Structure 1
């Protein structure tokens, strides 16, 4: 196992899905997965707002990453390719200050 290999990370998540039979037992159902991701976002928010340690934050973000990678497995899409495709789009976008914070988006001016 190479800890720097995306393929090895994806294989580890696939192995976890296989071990617990996610495909056969509802673990890959999208409504369920979305609720799990929302739960993890809440835990990430709690880490930030309650001033928890960086280690706690890292663990919660890792949970979310595992869920996102598992979603790619469940929905059978290439997350790595989707990442690079999206980065290409993002790099072509402009940024603006919105309410004192930087935003990078497809800004549409409304008349």
Structure 2
């Protein structure tokens, strides 16, 4: 198994888009991509709720990651940069226990 860098992964997703001519055939249209991501998230959920093996969960999460990376390609934004910027913001946030689970968010207390 290869230890791929983000740039290698992005290039592979770009090659997949090119191979199937996503830009020319509607595969990069955002409403379509959002529907595909929702479908994949449903498949991730099914793996968890039905107790499927981790290998199946990994495959569905990989599908979702490929779609997310493809969305960055389709919309021409730097997902790597956005990831690190967002993680830096999240790292500054506080966490709270809500219903017995940790939550990291921008909490806005009601006065």
| Structure 2, unaligned runs of 5 or more | none
Q: Which residue of 1 aligns with 2:54?
A: 54
TM-score when normalising by structure 1: 0.97
CA-to-aligned-CA distance 1:78-105 (integer Å, 9 cap, x gap): 0000000001000000000011100000
Deviation at 1:4?
2.3
Deviations 1:54-79 (A, max 9, x none): 00000000000000000000000000
Aligned residues, how many?
Answer: 110
- Large movers: runs of 4+ above 6 Å: none
Q: Over aligned residues, Cα RMSD in angstroms?
A: 0.8
